[in-house]
Copies of this chain bind each other. A is one copy, B any other.
Amino acid sequence: MNKRKEVTIYDLANKLHISVATVSRALQNDRVVSKKTRKKISDLAEELGYRSNHFARNLRQQQTNTIGVIVPKLNSNFITSVLAGIEKVTTEAGYDLIIAHSSESHEKEVANANNFFHKRVDGLIASLSLDTTDLDHFKPFVNKGIPVLFFDRVEQDGNNTVVIIDNTKCGYVATQHLIEQGCKRIAHITSSLKRNVYSQRYKGYRDALFDNGIPFDESNLIVNDLSEQAGVDSAMEIMRMKPLPDGIFIVNDFVAAVCMRTLKEHGISIPDDIAIVGFNNDAIGKLIEPPLTTINYPGIDMGEIAARNMINHLKGISNIHTTNTIIVRSELIVRKSSLKKGNGHPQF
């Protein structure tokens, strides 16, 4: 519903007494058009406020040059880093990006997927919501041969290409670190074990306990939804444990921060009474007191890698279905929240 009628290539062609084909070519900077003509055309286009019609173009070309991204939430450092990485690569490659977030809801994730399907994205990059129970909403893409690539929160059924970190190892390293600090009763606060990231960290946690001859106690496991309230509740639950744990491995820095605050409010000293390790290396970890030991992994690299694979697949340079799992590096960052002994800084 625009005020003035849109300028089309026909208008440009008429004004210059040339054909639309030439105009079209010139606008794409086709070198086959003489430099002079190209200049003339782009000048006139500028003057008349011409804007190309994406719809006509896409309709004609049968492709959108657009990649869809579905993330569980926006307000996390990790996610925005990934997004930045994806954006960098796709922009360089001349692709547009549409970003949607599921707010950790299966239903919204389905809606987003359907929307992208109908918008005909050339490819889809996604990280699953906490709630997601099945992957049926991605089937239409697979059926049409539209590449789908998951990162971080993925389903490792072997059918999908995924970009992840070694969550099991991270869980192991985090727990091992607590054990090395002298912890004997280590609680684990996590979220839906349906999600690979949490179930694998849990596995790493149990493996580390086992390897150190520490029996696993079911009651040391707390599952929540990563909200602020959940952090408070989990801390209360920790405090009801007898004996009190002397260490906690928490899968998310924000929840860890909320937990720590609640514990401290109740007179528990960190790390002396309870040592804490978080996950994600959010900005918050360096601002709270004591600073939070955590697992760091490079969101921006994950984004770049995911996007690069997608683009290469789309351009036919490589095939997404051949490389199935890409593991990105990760590392333990030791800060005061876990240092019962005040010693060195192991890295891996």
The residues of A with any CB-CB pair to B shorter than 8 Å are 1-4, 6, 49, 51-56, 58-59, 62-64, 73-77, 79-80, 83-84, 96, 98-99, 103, 115, 117-120, 122, 140, 143-146, 228, 254, 257-258, 261, 283-284, 286-289, 314
The complex places the Cα of A118 from the Cα of B56 at a distance, in Å, of 12
Measured between beta carbons, the chain B residues less than 8 angstroms from A115 are 96
Residue of B nearest to A143 (CB): B49
A138 to chain B, nearest CB (A): 14
Contact of A286 among B6, B79, B140, B261 (CB under 8 A): B261
Determine which of B51, B75, B144 lies in contact with A117 in the assembled complex, contact meaning CB atoms within 8 Å.
Answer: B51
How far is B62's CA from A3's CA once the two chains are assembled, in angstroms? Answer: 12
Residues of the B chain whose Cβ atoms lie less than 8 Å from the Cβ of A64: 55
A74 adjacent to B63 (CB under 8 Å): no
* Identical chains bound together, number: 2
Across the interface, name the chain B residue whose C-beta is closest to A56: B59
Q: Give complex CA distance A314, B287 in Å.
A: 44
Known contacts A74-B83, A286-B261; A144/B59 CB under 8 A: no
Contacts of A117 in B (CB 8 A): 51
Please tell me if the beta carbons of A1 and B122 are within 8 angstroms of each other in the complex. yes
Nearest chain B CB to A306 CB, angstrom units? 17
Q: Which of B3, B55, B56, B96 contacts A145 (CB 8 A)?
A: B3
A143 to chain B minimum Cβ distance, whole angstroms, is 7
* Cα–Cα, bound, A83→B53 (Å): 27
Mind listing 26 A-B residue pairs with CB under 8 Å? A1-B62, A1-B314, A2-B62, A2-B144, A2-B145, A4-B145, A6-B62, A51-B117, A51-B118, A52-B118, A54-B119, A54-B120, A55-B55, A55-B59, A56-B59, A73-B80, A74-B75, A74-B80, A74-B83, A84-B103, A261-B286, A283-B284, A284-B284, A284-B287, A287-B288, A289-B289
**In the bound complex, what is the Cα–Cα distance between A324 and B143 (angstroms)?**
49
Interface pair A4/B288, CB less than 8 Å apart: no
Contact of A75 among B62, B63, B77 (CB under 8 A): B77
Select from chain B the residue with minimum beta-carbon distance to A119. Answer: B54
Nearest-CB residue, chain B, relative to A122: B1
Most interface-central of A2, A55, A76 (chain B CB within 10 A)? A55
Residues of chain B within 8 A of A49, CB atoms compared: 140, 143-144
Q: How far, in angstroms, from A49 to B117 measured CA to CA in the complex?
A: 11
Distance between Cα atoms of A188 and B83 in the complex (Å)? 33
Q: Are A254 and B283 in contact (CB under 8 A)?
A: yes
Give the shortest distance, in Å, between A282 (CB) and chain B (any CB).
10
Residue of B nearest to A81 (CB): B75
Query: Complex Cα distance A257/B53, Å?
Result: 47
A264: min CB distance to chain B, Å: 8
Which partner residue on chain B sits nearest A51 by CB separation?
B118
Residue of B nearest to A57 (CB): B55
User: A-B pairs with the 10 shortest C-beta distances?
Assistant: A3-B145, A75-B80, A55-B59, A55-B55, A55-B58, A257-B287, A74-B80, A289-B289, A51-B118, A2-B144
